[in-house]
Chain A
């Protein structure tokens, strides 16, 4: 079984706590992304899974087996480094053969396995090339092949696309995902790029400041962020968050957005929770889930900026604390200086406690 269980995992570096009590269960064959800004603890977590760093406390289980004290060479994990760490003084073939050779596999078997893995990764014609001066996508395949040949139950990837040119990243993403399908191993993928995590992962673990913020499928974290951090971090642009105060009205619970002079209704499911709130809330909605409400009720705001980026147009409304972004198709026809009335789709509204940052949930 190649499940991974992290139980109460803590990592301290002197006085600094790199990871605060992490609990995470990764299923067999799952593609899990550890996502967060730099310094959030994602790489530390990964290094502990690989055995490169010792946890300060807590447990790491592979299946039922406790990994404490198991050295990194014996954990049976494949690891793809950020810079791929290809052995540049060797040929592609020697790189692929490295693991089996070190384990003393017979020559014939090594040849057979290298042949098979090279075939699978389309590296056969490159086998006798020196491993330096290869392009990044080939380096990536060599790095994956070199680990995959050991048939590890678990694959760990540390920001493998961060050195890749933006234009090429999409190609590499697709390639990586297809590889994961072929190998069907448990994969843990560290990244700071929410787009990578969204498009590739089965589930995402969002982290910040050494704390696990939320675990869920890409659409779960996008649609129902657990807190303000996740709401802002996921999505491009992130979720709009406007400060306001819950208020009772004849239309039910509404939120008074203060300087914006609007009191949009709050979702009925969280009305009770909002009623119990003493302080302020964040009224949140996704830029993609906004419609132009011509003459109707909505937020009336000046267009401060228009960005047309290929298939979509991002309209920037207002400024500072009350800035809102809305994403439209290119035929939206708004220009800087105009006033637009925008309304979030009713089912798209999310509300967060401004003090704690946590999402208000039904009940």
Chain B
């Protein structure tokens, strides 16, 4: 009775249909993501500038092959901006992480007024970064509230020129970043923390583990994935630090707080060497992609272990 049997639905057929149905969306994605990238790559191989009067598609007439990239390698200002960006990241991300984790641990338990504190804690995250920048710009004026508080505490007038001193300006910028982004860390880590199975924590308690041991042996391992996600988000975001910082210091004094983003901004708006900018942008994209791939690999491994 073979004839009576139903035609099996080929898995291929489904896949093909799926491809056809999603084709418009795929083309759109291609256009949005791939096209600008190729354009960047093209421009980065030229000396093209809007001042040249040429449209970008005619940039080939100013072809310089890899000159932008060799310039980049020798650009001391680029490397010091990169170093500064790295310093900000190395200080801010761990600080935000540790503060966020401490707060999350605190908020995992019940205490009076929890909801109010919770709302207050999340507020910085909701402030527009430019506004936050302005707030901290005001706070750190030599006649500003920070100095006022320090004066009141020490008993004699403090007039630190926060934003004019190269080191202090960098510190002020980092304080602002930590203020604004610790809440995000806190939020993500709290979500991870409440997901840790309570029974397992109880079981560990019954087996004699003290709070610190429970935290290290049960809570942290269970939060590994979410910690990696939180760190990856902040590393990538922090690398792009710009608006708050630019409003507070404009990258100064001198180039004391000039990060990669600020440097690119200046090159784009003041120096107008867009071929060179395209080269920097691509270089940074590659660096960030490596970070992202590394993070995702770690995550996949953790999930495999956890599954």
Binding site for B on A (CB under 8 A): 50, 52, 72-74, 77-79, 81, 83, 85-90, 98-99, 102-103, 130, 132, 146-147, 150
Q: How far is the CA of A316 from the CA of B172 in the complex (A)?
A: 84
A103: B residues at CB distance < 8 A: 208
Do A102 and B213 have beta carbons less than 8 Å apart? yes
Do B208 and A83 have beta carbons less than 8 Å apart? no
B218: A residues at CB distance < 8 A: 87
CB nearest neighbor in A for B218: A87
Do B205 and A72 have beta carbons less than 8 Å apart? yes
A72: B residues at CB distance < 8 A: 202, 205-206
B210: A residues at CB distance < 8 A: 73, 102
Whether B197 is near chain A, meaning CB under 8 Å from some CB there, is yes
Q: How far is the CA of A102 from the CA of B214 in the complex (A)?
A: 9
Known: A79-B203, A81-B202. 17 other contacts (CB 8 A): A50-B206, A52-B202, A72-B202, A73-B205, A73-B208, A73-B209, A74-B208, A79-B206, A85-B197, A85-B202, A87-B217, A88-B306, A89-B306, A102-B213, A103-B208, A132-B307, A147-B207
28 contacts between A and B (CB under 8 A): A50-B206, A52-B202, A72-B205, A73-B205, A73-B206, A73-B207, A77-B206, A78-B206, A79-B202, A79-B203, A79-B206, A81-B203, A83-B199, A85-B197, A85-B203, A86-B200, A87-B217, A88-B306, A89-B221, A89-B305, A90-B221, A98-B207, A102-B207, A102-B213, A102-B217, A130-B305, A132-B306, A147-B207
Please give the distance in Å from B205's CB to the nearest CB on chain A.
5
CB nearest neighbor in B for A82: B199
Q: How many residues of B contact A (CB 8 A)?
A: 20
Whether B222 is near chain A, meaning CB under 8 Å from some CB there, is yes
B217: A residues at CB distance < 8 A: 87, 98, 102
Q: How far is the CA of A88 from the CA of B307 in the complex (A)?
A: 9
Whether B204 is near chain A, meaning CB under 8 Å from some CB there, is yes
Do A99 and B199 have beta carbons less than 8 Å apart? no
Q: How far is the CA of A89 from the CA of B225 in the complex (A)?
A: 12
Binding site for A on B (CB under 8 A): 197, 199-200, 202-210, 213, 217-218, 221-222, 305-307
CB nearest neighbor in B for A77: B206
Q: How far is the CA of A86 from the CA of B207 in the complex (A)?
A: 12
Do A85 and B209 have beta carbons less than 8 Å apart? no
Do B209 and A102 have beta carbons less than 8 Å apart? yes
Q: How far is the CA of A132 from the CA of B217 in the complex (A)?
A: 16
Do A98 and B209 have beta carbons less than 8 Å apart? yes
CB nearest neighbor in A for B213: A102
CB nearest neighbor in A for B221: A89
B205: A residues at CB distance < 8 A: 72-73
Q: Which of B205, B222, B306 has the most CB of A within 10 A?
A: B205
Q: How far is the CA of A293 from the CA of B218 in the complex (A)?
A: 65
Do B305 and A99 have beta carbons less than 8 Å apart? no
Do A98 and B206 have beta carbons less than 8 Å apart? no
Please give the distance in Å from B226's CB to the nearest CB on chain A.
13
Please give the distance in Å from A346's CB to the nearest CB on chain B.
51
Do A150 and B207 have beta carbons less than 8 Å apart? yes
A102-B208 contact in complex given A83-B199, A89-B221, C-beta closer than 8 Å: yes
A86: B residues at CB distance < 8 A: 200
A52: B residues at CB distance < 8 A: 202
CB nearest neighbor in A for B224: A89
Which 10 pairs across A and B sit closest by C-beta, in order of nearness? Answer: A85-B199, A99-B207, A85-B203, A102-B209, A89-B221, A79-B206, A73-B208, A85-B200, A81-B199, A102-B208
A147: B residues at CB distance < 8 A: 206-207
Do B222 and A89 have beta carbons less than 8 Å apart? yes
Q: How far is the CA of A74 from the CA of B208 in the complex (A)?
A: 7
A87: B residues at CB distance < 8 A: 200, 203-204, 217-218
Q: How far is the CA of A83 from the CA of B199 in the complex (A)?
A: 8
Q: How far is the CA of A158 from the CA of B307 in the complex (A)?
A: 26
Q: How far is the CA of A97 from the CA of B306 in the complex (A)?
A: 19
Please give the distance in Å from B97's CB to the nearest CB on chain A.
20
Q: How far is the CA of A29 from the CA of B175 in the complex (A)?
A: 62
Q: How far is the CA of A146 from the CA of B197 in the complex (A)?
A: 17
A81: B residues at CB distance < 8 A: 199, 202-203
Q: Which of B199, B204, B208, B307 contacts A150 (CB 8 A)?
A: B208
Q: Which of B203, B205, B207, B307 has the most CB of A within 10 A?
A: B207
A90: B residues at CB distance < 8 A: 221
Q: How far is the CA of A353 from the CA of B210 in the complex (A)?
A: 53
Q: How far is the CA of A318 from the CA of B204 in the complex (A)?
A: 54
A99-B208 contact in complex given A89-B306, A130-B305, C-beta closer than 8 Å: yes
CB nearest neighbor in A for B206: A79
Please give the distance in Å from A70's CB to the nearest CB on chain B.
12
Do B199 and A102 have beta carbons less than 8 Å apart? no
Q: How far is the CA of A81 from the CA of B199 in the complex (A)?
A: 7
Q: How far is the CA of A99 from the CA of B204 in the complex (A)?
A: 8
CB nearest neighbor in A for B220: A89
